[in-house]
Amino acid sequence: MPSLANDNFINNHTTYSITTSFINQANINQVKFDELNQKAHNNYEEFWGELAHTKISWHKPFTTTLNNTKAPFYKWFEDGVLNVSYNCLDRHLRSKAHKTAIIFEADDGAITKITYQELHTKVCQFANGLKSIGVKSGDRVIVYMNNSIEAIIAMQSIARIGAIHSVVFGGFSSIALADRIIDAKAEYIITVNGYHRGGKLIELKKMVDEALINIDKNIHQIKHTIIHNRTPDLNTKITPHQDIWWNDVVDNQDKECIPEWVTSEHPLFILYTSGSTGKPKGILHTSGGYLLGTIVTMEWVFDYKDTDCYWCTADVGWITGHSYICYGPLAVGATQVIFEGIPTYPSADRFWQMIERHKVTTFYTAPTAIRNLIKLGATLPKNHNLSSLRLLGSVGEPINPEAWKWYYEVVGNSKCPIVDTWWQTETGCNMLSPIPGVQALKPGSCVSPIPGIMAVIIDENGNSIKPGESGYLVITKPFPSQLRTIWNADDKFIKTYYPQDIADGRYYIAGDSAQLDTDGYFWILGRIDDVLNVSGHRLGTMEIESAITMHPSIAEAAVVGKPHAIKGEGIFAFVVCKKDSSIKDLSQDDKTTLTNQINAIISKEIGAIAKIDEIKFVEGLPKTRSGKIMRRLLRNIVRGEEITQDISTLENPAIINTLKL
C-alpha cells in the first residue's frame, strides 16, 4: 500500500499526559468517556438517538433514529423536524441574547463585535431579503466571500429558509467557480466587491462576472448576484436587474423571520472537494445529523465552556470553516473570533497578538500555518501573553512531531492539550481525536476515534491489521454527520466511498492509509488515492494535469506530491512537450517561460493554491501497457526512494533512467 511515510511512527512513543487541572475541569472525564464508549458499543442507535434528542432543539422530535434500508444512503432522525439556523441563533436568545457571538478582526485590524441578538436580527433580515428576491427552499445559493460576519449571515440565512448553500473558497478562480455554479445548478450568488487579505486587494465580484461570461446562458442562467459592499471606494460594475447590493436586499426587511421547518434529511449544503477524477465532487450534507456531529465535537473534543473565547483560523470556504466557524460554535452558543487576514500580516506575530488581544482560550489551526510561523519567528509567542489559552487544535494533515512540540511548548506553555483532529469534508465533523481530559497525547498521532465513531484499519479483505502494519482507514458503521451522497452522482458516491473491492463495500472508505501502534493509537499516513494535500488543501492530481495540458506546447503531464517543509506536500510535475518542441531544444530560459505560463494557466483554471512547486521536462512518462501512468514510480523518484516495484510490465521501462532527478 502506498503511504506517505511517517518516519517518526516507529520510534516516537513519547507520551504527554494531560495536566490535572485540565482533567479536573474537562467536560468528558474517564468515567464519562467509558460510559459513552460502552453505550456506543452496546446500543449504537440508542447512543446517537439520545444525543440527538438532547443536543438539538427539534420543532418536532424524531421517532426513528437510523433508517438503513437503502444503505449506504443512510437516513438519520428522518421524521424529525428542525431548522439549523434556529439551533444556532434563536435557541440562545433567552439566556444569551447579549453574549458576543462573533469578534470579527479585519485584515487592517478593525474589530467588530456582534451579539447573538444582533446576529439573529441580521440573519432574519437577510433571510427575508433572500425570500423577497425569490430564493426558495431547496434552491442552491453560491457564497463566494471573505471570512466575515456577512459570510456567516449569508450561510445562516440560507439555512434558515431551507435553501442549500455551496460556499466556494475565495482563492478559487473564476473557472473553478463557474464549474461549481453549473454542477450545483445554482441560481443565486452572494459575493463581495473586494476585500483585503495580507494587505492585498481581492476583487471577488469581478471573478463572478468572469465566471458568468463562461457560462452558456442557454445551459444555465443565474437569477441574481448579491454584493456586499465591503470596499465602498471600489468602482464595482453593476448589471441592472441581475446585481443587487446587500444593503438593498436587507433594506426595510422585517427583523423576524420564522424559520423554514425542514425534516432532518433536508440538504443543508454542498461543498466541493477534490477527488481522483478531473472534476471536484459536490459533497452533500443534510441537517440533523451534521448539526449533531458539530455539537458533540465542540463539547467533547474542544471541551467547549460558556466562558471560552474560541478561534478557528480556517476559511469559511473549507469544511473546517463550515463545521467549526459557521455551525458548531454558534450551535453551542460560543463567543468566537473570525479573522479576515493571514497569520503573517502585517507582522509574523499577528496570531499571537490576536490571541492576547481577545484572550482566546481555544485555538484551532493547521500544521502548515504552524510550520510557517516557526520559520518566521519561533520565539515570537514569548513576547505575548498567551496565558488565556487552555486548548490547542490541529487539522488538515498529519502534524510533524517537531511542529507539535513547538506548538505544545511555546504556544501552549506545556499546559494545553493539543487535539489533533482527523476528519474530512465528507465526515462533516472530527472523527479521530484525543478526548482532551482523558487521553494522553503522542505528537503526530490523532489518538483514536471519538465515542460513537467505529473506525478501524483493515486490509483489502476486511481483516484488522496488526500494530505496525499499514492498512485502509475505514468506518464500519454509518454515522450521523457523514455525507449523504455526491450531488447528482449517487453511483459515484457508492463507488468512491463504499467500493466493492475493499471489504465487499460494507464500510465507509476514508481514502487514507493508517497504522496502529502497540498502544492502539492511530497514525494517519496519507492518502491512498491520487489526491494531494498541499497546505492542508485537497487537490486532485488529474485536475492539475488537465490544466497543465491546456498549454499548447504540452502533450502530457503527471503530477505527484513531494514532501515540503512548510506545505506538507508540494506539487511536482513531470511534463512532456509536444513533438515539435522536444526538450532537447529547450533552453533554461524556455523552461522558465513554460513553467510561468503553466502556472498562469493553473491559477486561471483552479486557483493560485494549485501552482506547481517543481517541474521536470521529460521525454515520456512511465506507463503500463494499458496506458495508465504509474504515479507511484514517479512518487518514488521525487522522494529519492528506491524503486522496488516490478518495472518489467512498463510499456517503456527504459524511460525510468531519464526521469531521475
Cα–Cα dist 306/344, whole Å: 30
Q: Are strands 537-540 and 485-486 parallel, antiparallel or unpaired?
A: unpaired
Q: How many CA atoms lie within 13 A of 245 on its CB side?
A: 10
Cα–Cα dist 517/447, whole Å: 10
Q: Using the rule CB under 6 A, is 423 a contact of ligand WT7?
A: yes
User: Which residues have CB under 8 Å from 174's CB, separation 6+?
Assistant: 207, 208, 210, 211, 214, 604
Residue type, 388: S
C-alpha cell at 443: 505528537
Stretch that binds ligand WT7, among 168-176, 180-188, 533-541, 652-660 (CB under 6 A): 533-541
Q: Using the rule CB under 6 A, is 569 a contact of ligand WT7?
A: no
**Minimum distance from residue 575 beta carbon to ligand WT7 (Å):** 26
Q: Using the rule CB under 6 A, is 396 a contact of ligand WT7?
A: yes
Cα–Cα dist 598/289, whole Å: 42
Stretch that binds ligand WT7, among 395-403, 410-418, 495-503, 562-570 (CB under 6 A): 395-403
**Minimum distance from residue 541 beta carbon to ligand WT7 (Å):** 14
Give the chain's largest Cα–Cα span: 74
CB-based closest residue to ligand WT7:
425
Whether residue 123 contacts residue 157, with contact meaning beta carbons closer than 8 Å, is answered with yes
Q: Which is nearer to ligand WT7, 162 or 451 (CB)?
A: 451
Q: Using the rule CB under 6 A, is 446 a contact of ligand WT7?
A: yes
Q: Which is nearer to ligand WT7, 511 or 622 (CB)?
A: 511
Binding mask 425-444 for ligand WT7 (x = CB under 6 A): x-------------------
Gyration radius of the chain over CA positions: 24
**Minimum distance from residue 526 beta carbon to ligand WT7 (Å):** 6
Stretch that binds ligand WT7, among 86-94, 207-215, 415-423, 631-639 (CB under 6 A): 415-423
DSSP per-residue letters across 564-599: ETTTEEEEEEEEEE-GGG-GGG--HHHHHHHHHHHH
Stretch that binds ligand WT7, among 9-17, 35-43, 91-99, 390-398 (CB under 6 A): 390-398
**Minimum distance from residue 537 beta carbon to ligand WT7 (Å):** 7
Stretch that binds ligand WT7, among 127-135, 223-231, 421-429, 597-605 (CB under 6 A): 421-429
**Three-state SS sequence of 382-421:** HHCCCCCCCEEEEECCCCCHHHHHHHHHHHCCCCCCEEEE
Q: Which is nearer to ligand WT7, 358 or 538 (CB)?
A: 538
Element spanning 527, H or E: strand 522-527
Q: Using the rule CB under 6 A, is 316 a contact of ligand WT7?
A: no
**Which residue, among 557, 548, 513, 319, has the nearest Cα to 424 in the 3D structure?**
319
Stretch that binds ligand WT7, among 84-92, 260-268, 325-333, 510-518 (CB under 6 A): 510-518
C-alpha cell at 525: 499516513
Site size with ligand WT7, rule: CB under 6 A: 22
Q: Using the rule CB under 6 A, is 524 a contact of ligand WT7?
A: yes
Q: Using the rule CB under 6 A, is 400 a contact of ligand WT7?
A: no
**Minimum distance from residue 320 beta carbon to ligand WT7 (Å):** 5
**Three-state SS sequence of 430-461:** CCECCCCCCCCECCCCCECECCCCCEEEECCC
Q: Using the rule CB under 6 A, is 393 a contact of ligand WT7?
A: no
C-alpha cell at 268: 443543508
**Which residue, among 437, 530, 358, 513, has the nearest Cα to 23 in the 3D structure?**
437
Q: Which is nearer to ligand WT7, 80 or 401 (CB)?
A: 401
Q: Which is nearer to ligand WT7, 286 or 433 (CB)?
A: 433
**Minimum distance from residue 426 beta carbon to ligand WT7 (Å):** 7
DSSP per-residue letters across 268-282: EEEEEE--SSSS-EE
Distances 11 to 6, 351, 471, 641 between C-alpha atoms, Å: 10, 32, 19, 20
Single residue of 273, 313, 335, 439 touching ligand WT7 by CB under 6 A: 273
Q: Which residues of 132-150 are buried (b: 16+ CB within 10 A; e: fewer)?
A: eeebeeebbbbbbbbbbbb
**Which residue, among 245, 249, 292, has the nearest Cα to 268 in the 3D structure?**
292
Single residue of 140, 442, 538, 562 touching ligand WT7 by CB under 6 A: 538
Single residue of 123, 152, 309, 395 touching ligand WT7 by CB under 6 A: 395
Cα–Cα dist 321/168, whole Å: 11
Stretch that binds ligand WT7, among 141-149, 402-410, 449-457, 507-515 (CB under 6 A): 507-515
Cα–Cα dist 127/104, whole Å: 21
Q: Using the rule CB under 6 A, is 421 a contact of ligand WT7?
A: yes
Q: Using the rule CB under 6 A, is 527 a contact of ligand WT7?
A: yes
Q: Which is nearer to ligand WT7, 334 or 524 (CB)?
A: 524
**Minimum distance from residue 82 beta carbon to ligand WT7 (Å):** 25
Q: Using the rule CB under 6 A, is 257 a contact of ligand WT7?
A: no
**Which residue, among 563, 550, 542, has the nearest Cα to 594 in the 3D structure?**
550
Q: Using the rule CB under 6 A, is 320 a contact of ligand WT7?
A: yes
Stretch that binds ligand WT7, among 126-134, 353-361, 392-400, 547-555 (CB under 6 A): 392-400
Q: Which is nearer to ligand WT7, 187 or 530 (CB)?
A: 530
Single residue of 343, 381, 511, 540 touching ligand WT7 by CB under 6 A: 511
Kindly report the backbone phi and psi dihedral angles of residue 492, in degrees, each rounded to the nearest multiple of 5, phi listed first.
-65, -35
Distances 415 to 350, 388, 433 between C-alpha atoms, Å: 22, 11, 18
Q: Which is nearer to ligand WT7, 264 or 421 (CB)?
A: 421
User: Which residues have CB under 8 Å from 320's CB, separation 6+?
Assistant: 312, 314, 364, 395, 396
Q: Which is nearer to ligand WT7, 333 or 511 (CB)?
A: 511
CA 512 to chain centre: 15
Q: Which is nearer to ligand WT7, 380 or 610 (CB)?
A: 610
Single residue of 290, 422, 472, 493 touching ligand WT7 by CB under 6 A: 422
Cα–Cα dist 405/399, whole Å: 10
Q: Are strands 455-458 and 470-475 parallel, antiparallel or unpaired?
A: antiparallel
**Minimum distance from residue 312 beta carbon to ligand WT7 (Å):** 11
Q: Which is nearer to ligand WT7, 357 or 405 (CB)?
A: 405
Q: Which is nearer to ligand WT7, 47 or 311 (CB)?
A: 311
Q: Using the rule CB under 6 A, is 530 a contact of ligand WT7?
A: no
Single residue of 265, 420, 530, 543 touching ligand WT7 by CB under 6 A: 420
Using CB under 6 A as the criterion, which residues of the chain lie in contact with ligand WT7 when the complex forms? Answer: 273, 319-320, 395-398, 420-425, 446, 510-512, 524, 527, 533, 536, 538
